[in-house]
Chain A
Amino acid sequence: MAKQPAAVIGIGQTHHRAKREDVSMAGLCREAMDRALEDAGMTLDEIDAIVVGKAPDLFEGVMMPELFLAEALGAAGKPLLRVHTAGSVGGSTAIVAASLVQSGVHKKVLTVAYEKQSESNAMWALSVPVPFNMPVHAGAGGYFAPHVRSYIRRSGAPTHVGAIVAAKDRNNALKNPYAHLHNEGTTVESVMASQMLWDPIRYDETCPSSDGACALVIAAEDVAAASPNPAWIHGTIMRSEATSGAERDQVNPQASRDAAAALWKQAGITSPIDEIDAAEIYVPFSWFEPMWLESLGFAEEGAGWKLTESGATALDGRMPVNCSGGVLSSNPIGASGMLRFGEAALQVRGLAGEHQVDGARKALGHAYGGGSQFFAMWVVGSEKPTN
């Protein structure tokens, strides 16, 4: 049995900021949802089901917040699901929402992912002492820095490649009115001059902490037919690997490689670099761009940094990556994955505005989470899939 065709017909996001003190959690979600519904030309009443995603509840200090949010999100009297798969959650949530349509169970599904980090303190939420575990207190940067060092050692990449990524993404963000950071004048030199936080990751090579939300309206074939510019879903994939395992390669995890291979197969793509016109890849620390380029098959192992260094991943390059400014410019954790999925869809709909890649027809949305162990990805296209 084949999946029913499904398409993204509405996309909305908030203006991401360090503290959105002007809105409650419900207000933040509604800001993104109302934009997505307007884009889809639909009202909340027409929506069949709501899927909510966010990262740990301790980030806001509310247990299962979708319960109290249900009414404000228009879910009362409808089915509501709450997904939580670590940092990949924004992507996983979009995939669950898509599957509600692809299964034929629903026709019009609205999904929203958010994080309002200013309500609590993410560093505290990640540092609660728990029994039977040695506290690391490293935060995400301290956790991933050794993986980056290992990548540099394996690939022989010059040490300024991370700064190239950071300067590119921060400049792309200037073209995205929703981005959290609008740091004018960021250059490779200014990134290299910024404070070293977790060697080799400098301050300007890290993502910010943001309040923000992203929402998508995903519709069945007959509903999407009325949309002037649907982003058709060509493939979705989720893969997870366990935390403990001596053979795990956290620099290029098997779950990531397996997920990419299955995704390209599903989407009928044989050469990602030639067939994907724009990619939104989850890059919370600059070096993850070349690392994921290799893992995803855009470059040979050890050659991802060459693609970055050559300028190929710039907006006007051969393989534009994170034209929106990416996670490096906005990071409402629970929403970050859905922003990648949504920005990919904006590209193939031709609606990305100043950061549009000319003529983009197929795009990748990517998210990862945990200790590089949870992966969610999709391919969207301007044409209905033929496979």
Chain B
Amino acid sequence: MRDVAVVGFAQRQMKEFDGSPTCVELLVPLFKECYEQTGWTRKDIGFWCSGSSDYLAGRSFSFVQAVDAIGVTPPVNESHVEMDLAWAMYEAWIKIQTGEVDTALVYAFRKSSAGVLRRTLALQLEPYMMTPLWPDTVSLAGLQARAGLDAGAWDEAAMAEVVNRSLTDAEKNEYAIRKGGSSVEELLARPMYADPLRKHDCAPVTDGAAAIVLAAGDRARDVRERPAWITGLSHYIDPMSMGTRDLTRSPSAAAAAKAAGTDGVEVAELHAPFSHQELILRRELGLGADVAINPSGGALASNPMFSSGGIRVGEAARKIWSGDAATTLGHATSGPALQQNLVCVLADAPNSKVGA
């Protein structure tokens, strides 16, 4: 396996992006930031890969216009996944592993505010029997939270603690669109939104985009003193059917963590769009009480669809670059109730146990 590191990261998160759903206007300055961080130009990028969804743009082939943000000539080695940025990064990491390229810039974007997100996401469900009932994302997460409460896997106070810590930490994140902690008591006194979820238990609808730069070996060392080396990168998926899986668990998250190897992780950025999902993930990823969770505020502070998972990896990389930590973890999720999960472990030194 080649040693590959995260060497660039740029993001934009906002409540409502006042621009077109294609988000090209958001991407151009993001790429510029990546070039500034790396000292590269467009010609240094060996491979491009993006993540987005046509359903959030309300049109087919919506990613096509985003390629305009890269520029016209020469044509580029490029791909697109209908998935979160973290999986676009995975495809790029694979491309670098084949030896075909040494560098990649991956990006993702979406304007969730253009529609009613929780309702749009109901179109992700099994179309013949489930979607006709229009079970929305928040309601499905509510069922998951209730299942855990009933099973005694967590209680409402634990959920509120997650929220309080996240929104307190978010005060230091310029991109957070919801911030400001209070107390567990005060949070629990707030009204129900989708019982047992209160509004603060659910990620806010967020617009945004993000980009990550990967480089292999010496290309990475040339860019940064402390590249964030990818020492583990793995992803798995569970069946969707809500009736047949144990909603209090996430086997795919556990499998990804096992394959990536989470020993020594000091900081973990978890993509948990609902407070109770952080509790599930901490258990499945085997993260002890000594691991700092979501210092950025996490998805409860802002959650731009299709970028949010990748942003977790970017935030984890920044902790390596800055010297704040030697081993960090970024996690991404997709699908209802933590169906699909990716774990990326980053460290200040490369190793060769990467794979799976």
Contact status B236-A83, CB under 8 Å: no
Residues of A in contact (CB 8 Å), total 68
Min CB distance B257 to A, Å, is: 14
Report yes or no: B237 in contact with A258, Cβ–Cβ below 8 A.
no
Q: Roughly how many angstroms separate A102 CA and B97 CA in the complex, as a whole number?
A: 8
Contact B237 A241 (CB under 8 A): no
Interface residues on B, range: 35 or more
B98, A79: Cβ atoms closer than 8 Å: no
Contact B72 A247 (CB under 8 A): yes
Given A80-B340, A103-B94, A242-B70, A96 and B79 touching (CB < 8 A)? yes
Q: Give B97-123 as 1s and 0s: 1 = Cβ < 8 Å from A's Cβ atoms.
A: 111100000000000000000001101
Q: Is A370 an interface residue (CB 8 A)?
A: yes
B90 in the interface (beta carbon within 8 A):
yes
Q: Given the complex, which residues of A lie within 8 Å of B324, measured CB to CB?
A: none
A56 touches B61 (CB 8 A): yes
The CB with the most chain A CB atoms within 10 A, among B81, B131, B339, is that of: B81
B240 x A71 contact (CB < 8 A): yes
Contact between chains at A62 and B127 (CB < 8 Å): yes
Q: In the bound complex, do residue B78 and residue A65 qualify as a contact, i.e. CB atoms below 8 Å apart?
A: no
Complex formed: what's the CA distance from A187 to B28 in Å?
A: 51
Which residues, 135 to 176 on B, are CB-close (under 8 Å) to A? none
Beta-carbon contacts under 8 Å, B65-88 to A: 65, 67-68, 70-83, 87
B15 CB to nearest chain A CB (Å): 19
Cα distance A75–B76 in the bound complex, in angstroms: 31
Of A85, A103, A258, which one neighbours B98 at CB under 8 angstroms? A103
Instruction: Judge if A238 is at the interface, Cβ distance under 8 Å.
Output: yes
CA distance A254 to B71 in the complex (A): 14
Q: Please state if A242 and B339 are interface contacts (CB–CB under 8 Å).
A: no
CB–CB B80/A68 < 8 A? no
Chain A residue at minimal CB-CB distance from B52:
A84
Q: Closest CB-CB distance, B335 to chain A, in whole Å?
A: 4
Given contacts A3-B99, A77-B252, A242-B68, contact A82 B74 (CB under 8 A): no
**Is the CB–CB distance between A68 and B126 below 8 Å?**
yes
The reply to whether A84 and B82 form a contact with Cβ atoms under 8 Å apart is: yes
Residues of A within 8 A of B58 (CB): 128, 130
Looking at the complex, which one of B55, B98, B126, B239 makes contact with A3 (CB distance below 8 Å)? B98
Q: B54 to chain A: which residues have CB within 8 Å?
A: 56-58, 63, 84
- Judged by DSSP, the binding face of A is loop
The proximity string for A residues 94-130 relative to B, scoring 1 for CB distances below 8 Å and 0 otherwise, is 0010011011110000000000000100000110101
CA distance A78 to B355 in the complex (A): 14
Pairwise interchain contact A82-B83, C-beta atoms closer than 8 A: yes
A-B contact count (CB 8 A): 198
Are B81 and A131 interface neighbours, CB within 8 A? Answer: no
Name the A residues within 8 Å of B236 (CB-CB). 77-79
A57/B131 in contact, CB under 8 A: no
* A92 on the B face (CB < 8 A): yes
Near A by CB (< 8 A), chain B positions 234-283 give 234-241, 251-252, 255
B2 neighbours in A (Cβ, 8 Å): 1
Please state if B238 and A56 are interface contacts (CB–CB under 8 Å).
Answer: no
- Whether a CB of chain A sits under 8 angstroms from the CB of B20 is yes
Given A68-B126, A77-B255, CB of A102 within 8 Å of CB of B83? no
Q: How far apart are B249's CB and chain A's nearest CB, in angstroms?
A: 13
User: Chain B residues near A67 (CB, 8 Å)?
Assistant: 124, 237, 240, 334-336, 339-340
B91 contacts A96, C-beta separation under 8 Å: yes
Known A-B contacts A96-B91, A104-B1; the reply to A82 vs B81 at CB < 8 A is yes
What are 5 A-B contacts defined by CB distance under 8 Å?
A: A61-B123, A64-B55, A103-B98, A104-B355, A105-B94
The 4 closest A-B pairs by CB, nearest first: A245-B72, A103-B97, A255-B75, A56-B60
Give me 13 other A-B pairs in contact (C-beta within 8 A), A68-B124, A76-B238, A239-B75 excluded.
A58-B55, A64-B335, A67-B237, A83-B80, A83-B91, A85-B79, A99-B91, A99-B95, A130-B21, A241-B75, A247-B72, A247-B73, A370-B64
